[in-house]
A and B are shown apart, each in its own frame.
Chain A
């Protein structure tokens, strides 16, 4: 089984990662309890050969509705979901709207998925409130729902496989403060104001700065819809409006690429401390080149895998925790090529 092998490799890497916490955060500030929150390393895949045989006989179908499909992050989640589907012998479909602003389109996809009378659903809500009526319908019809990537403000999902975005963004704030020398102005470009990840990353960063670092001021938080060009223009204007700006946090891939473009266009490479989120070629190149100090990475393949696995476990009547924490890590030029980190990055 190719994918089984893949997962065991991934699993082994995660184990190695847990062991190497100290290496992963070489100069991590003391006040980052978040940094030590690691996914359970002793996880054993639920789908053994016996479970697989049993599930295959049941002809199970699980639609996976993500927040997007064109970003490399979602392609990695898809890869994980497909790995789980193969391991467990179930059928999945993976779909998501073209942009992460299309809440309505996503709801349509959820509705269509429900109309197909699936056995379970994995769902990553773009808008944590808007999906509730449809989730209630799923509940009435006895279809278990598993959340992934971002939670829903509802107790309907049996569990949610997600990064603790608040803690991850707080770690970004800690690293930012340390790298700018404990004081000064910083700004944020995020993707949107309605999704759980958008809200949590901004709140996690903002609250940590406000609560812990009175000498650091967040001068502006803007939203560029993950659109690289819009984010570039926003970041340009922010940098120009605040000549004393010392640091910039981009809360997702599209946002951070905008920040990097703006820094390059203003010839401020190396003058601003730039911190990003997720990965992708441009961001990884910037970290290697030193124009970006570092970034937070999640485990997208793991998110996809656990989402499907949890949906199956729910179907089988297994007990599930409220949250499956899929973990996050700080990476920079010093550890970007470490095996444990490289496994979580995607081009």
Chain B
């Protein structure tokens, strides 16, 4: 296939503009929340609490970054939560049970995620099974495999203390001691930069939008749609694997029973961040902001001692509100 023949995907200027608008909306919401909580409680806008929020966002943020790609193609990935857990267990098997080097364990963790994503992609793109069903199936498969491989036990990383530093060490703190932001946060921002680059500056990114805007047109213009779609799910899986590594490093253990439900938090972050579930639009920046909106909300309500049940209700309301704002914006344009 001659790539140069492929048309520019239908990413129009107005879309860029509207992306800016939606990014502004989510960002505005984030600012409003931060200001409101800062006024409501003196314990909110403190360095330690901000650090806590950053940390609480990291795993969900990394998952959300990955699933943004899939959602832009108009698909969905329900397996990222349990794939994350499966990946963390695989890293644990390599590092703790086999005693192999930490970088290899990290590679296997990320690779496990990518492999699950690859399988999702092949089933969806080649075998034409709907993404919802395929990834639902993978959700169960990954959950079961995590339980089987771990033999139902948490795997601890005590034999490799350096592993924990992936999340809980602080490279930044070594340079500027006052800003001892944990590495998990740096990993998330690094992942966001990488994903942003892929999405805006590579062929994969271009076809991601193209598939979401009009898959048929993309295919008719000579693009191997199945190949690129498979690649998108693989990327999503790789980020889930990275999320698994970071989570395991933070908990200093791979917990085989965790993970289910995390995919919904990630999808919520993507949607709050302005990525449309109908595909074709979206930004990584928006997703990161969406993830922060969620954790600021939970943290702020928590700091104000709002009962937990209400935190969940408010999160749901914000989610629906975000989509409604998007609908209004579309009607306007």
Which A residues fall within an 8 A CB radius of B?
68-72, 75, 98-99, 219-220, 222-223, 227-229, 232-234, 236-238, 240-243, 257, 261, 264-266, 280-282, 285
Contacts and interface: CB of A to CB of B under 8 A. Distances in A.
Nearest to B49: A240
A339 B153 CA distance: 24
Given A70-B147, A228-B258, A265-B182, A236 B252 contact: no
Nearest 7 CB-CB pairs, A to B?
A237-B302, A70-B257, A233-B56, A236-B52, A241-B303, A240-B49, A70-B152
Interface in B110-158: 143, 147, 152-154, 156, 158
Contacts of B247: 229
A261 B251 contact: yes
A75 B256 CA distance: 14
27 contacts: A70-B147, A70-B152, A70-B257, A75-B152, A75-B153, A98-B143, A98-B257, A99-B257, A222-B302, A223-B308, A228-B258, A229-B250, A229-B255, A232-B250, A233-B55, A236-B52, A236-B55, A237-B303, A238-B302, A240-B49, A240-B52, A242-B43, A264-B168, A266-B52, A280-B154, A281-B154, A282-B156
Contacts of A69: 152
B147 A240 contact: no
Residue of B295, B298, B305 with highest tally of chain A CB at under 10 A: B305
Interface of B: 41, 43, 46, 48-49, 52, 55-56, 59, 143, 147, 152-154, 156, 158, 168, 182, 247, 250-253, 255-258, 260, 295, 298-299, 302-303, 305, 308
A94 B169 CA distance: 41
A241 B43 contact: yes
A70 B147 CA distance: 8
Nearest to B46: A240
Contacts of B152: 69-70, 75
A236 B184 CA distance: 16
Contact of A229 (B43, B46, B251, B305): B251
Contact of A281 (B156, B182, B251, B257): B156
Contacts of B154: 72, 280-281
B153 A72 contact: yes
Residue of A68, A227, A229, A285 with highest tally of chain B CB at under 10 A: A229
B252 A282 contact: yes
A218 to B, nearest CB: 12
Contact of A227 (B41, B258, B302): B258
A70 to B, nearest CB: 4
A236 B58 CA distance: 14
Contacts of A285: 158
Nearest to A227: B258
B179 to A, nearest CB: 14
B188 to A, nearest CB: 14
Contacts of A261: 250-251
